[in-house]
Structure 1
Amino acid sequence: MKKLGIFILFISINLMAKAQSAAEKEVAVAVEQLRLAMISGERAALDHIAATDLSYGHSSGKLEDKAAFVESIASGKSDFVTIDFKNQTIKVTGKTALVRHQLDAKTNDGGKPGEVRLGILLVWQKQGKNWKLLGRQAYKLP
């Protein structure tokens, strides 16, 4: 009986680990969709990935809601030429996911070429079948 209990516990832990990694993969796909939408500036893609209640924080302290975030990128005011995410970690707890990474990007804001290197915290929420970006905070790296 004791061996059966240990076996059931082992199987349960194994199944939870597989479910967790499946959710992490879903979030990783959503993060990649965000990266591509930010580079392309496609309004529909940005609108689809962002939650209605998005809080988008810049390293300068500026905050944007969903409408401002979408407009800034779709209009080209914030123009990402390339974006690379490095050292990414994903932690899923229920319907919430925390993603941390380093963002390295080439920009062309207002026709002025530039480069940024920032730390990023993304907060994702599972809404229906989709992971939506609920929060983002950038911070300056040393």
Structure 2
Amino acid sequence: MNKFLSVLLLMVLSIGSSYAATSNQSTVEQAVETMRLAMLSADKAQLEHVALSSLTYGHSSAVIENKAQFVDAIVSGRSSFKTLQFQDQSIITEGDTAIVRHVFVADTNDNGKVGKVKIGVMLVFKKVNADWKLLARQAYKLPQ
């Protein structure tokens, strides 16, 4: 009987941790989508809400921005997106940390200069209370 209870307890704990991982993944996906929509619409309040004050935001050009610079670049139109997709996204969660990778595909209009972007991106989110907040972002050039 003890073996049966041990196996049953192990199954219940496994299901619970699996549910927590799935739940975290879903809420991280929502945070990433909120960020994408805020970038697309240049919504200052949402951009500020999704990012931690200690954000470090790296571009594929090697430019590094803090939270204020990241928000200002989008709100001011220096970085303006006409379309923005995050393709081939993967999410790994470990406790209160999540790593998100995707291909960032956009049509841009930065200060009147039209362009196209297709780069790789890695995001690091940290869970603060019930919210996932962007802690770090690093973009990189994709192989040709």
TM-score over 0.5 for the pair: yes
| Partner in structure 1 of residue 21 of structure 2 | 20
| Partner in structure 2 of residue 47 of structure 1 | 48
Please tell me whether residue 71 in structure 1 is matched to residue 69 in structure 2.
no
Distance in 1 between residues matched to 2:13 and 2:43, nearest whole Å:
42
Q: Secondary structure at the match of 1:78?
A: coil
Distance in 2 between residues matched to 1:101 and 1:11, nearest whole Å:
33
Distance in 2 between residues matched to 1:95 and 1:132, nearest whole Å:
10
Distance in 2 between residues matched to 1:88 and 1:2, nearest whole Å:
41
| Partner in structure 1 of residue 137 of structure 2 | 136
| Partner in structure 1 of residue 99 of structure 2 | 98
Structure 2 gap ranges (5+): none
Deviations 1:33-76 (A, max 9, x none): 00000000011111111100000000011100000000000000
What is the root-mean-square deviation in Å for CA atoms of aligned residues? 0.8
Distance in 2 between residues matched to 1:10 and 1:87, nearest whole Å:
32
Distance in 2 between residues matched to 1:112 and 1:62, nearest whole Å:
18
Aligned AA (1:52)? S
Distance in 1 between residues matched to 2:46 and 2:13, nearest whole Å:
37
Using the TM superposition, give the Cα deviation of residue 3 of structure 1 relative to its aligned residue in structure 2, in angstroms: 2.2
Structure 1 gap ranges (5+): none
Using the TM superposition, give the Cα deviation of residue 133 of structure 1 relative to its aligned residue in structure 2, in angstroms: 0.4
Please tell me whether residue 10 in structure 1 is matched to residue 11 in structure 2.
yes
Aligned AA (2:86)? F
Aligned AA (2:68)? A
| Partner in structure 1 of residue 86 of structure 2 | 85
Which consecutive segments of 4 or more residues in structure 1 shift more than 6 A?
none
Aligned length: 142
Distance in 1 between residues matched to 2:76 and 2:10, nearest whole Å:
53
Q: Secondary structure at the match of 2:73?
A: helix
Distance in 2 between residues matched to 1:127 and 1:12, nearest whole Å:
24
Distance in 1 between residues matched to 2:41 and 2:76, nearest whole Å:
11
Please report the TM-score for the alignment, with normalisation by the length of structure 2. Answer: 0.96
